[in-house]
Amino acid sequence: MKAHTEASVERRRHPRTALRMSLGCIRLDPDGGDVTDTLDMTDISRSGMGAICDRAFYPGQRVVLHLPAGEDRGRRNIYAAVIRAQSSDAGYRVGLEFDRASAAAWYSAPVATVAA
């Protein structure tokens, strides 16, 4: 029987894509202090994303993320929940799971067309 290491077992439903960008975040259930934050995204998939922030988050915390919708389509809001939060040398690393309904709307948003 072959043993699986933690690194060899992928538990995610969708493959991740490494993507570095800063985006706005609103805490829906703030624990005091500012309600808005800036997250530095590290990766994204259809169901969630990883990010780094200067301030701590906690598992179960709900947020609204301001994600780009594509060329000439501005930004879209997507609801998410923190599923993992830990301190690191770079700040606080968080794993976010997108709300299925708002993620589906984000992925199915119509592509803007330019008149010729």
3 within some domain: no
116 within some domain: no
7 within some domain: no
Instruction: Please identify which residue in the block is written with the tokens 């493959």.
Output: 15
Chain centroid to CA 23: how far? 9
6 within some domain: no
80 within some domain: yes
pLDDT of 1 > 70? The answer is no
* pLDDT one-digit tens code per residue, 60-111: 999 999 987 666 667 788 999 999 999 988 899 999 999 988 777 666 654 4
Q: Could you tell me the residue range of the domain that residue 18 belongs to?
A: 12-107
Could you tell me the pTM of the whole model? 0.73
* pLDDT one-digit tens code per residue, 16-64: 788 899 999 999 977 766 799 999 999 998 889 999 999 999 999 999 9
d(CA 46, CA 102): 11
43 within some domain: yes
d(CA 69, CA 53): 22
Instruction: Please identify which residue in the block is written with the tokens 């570095």.
Output: 20
Give Rg (Cα) of the chain: 16
pLDDT at 41: 95
84 within some domain: yes
92 within some domain: yes
Instruction: Please identify which residue in the block is written with the tokens 């700040």.
Output: 91
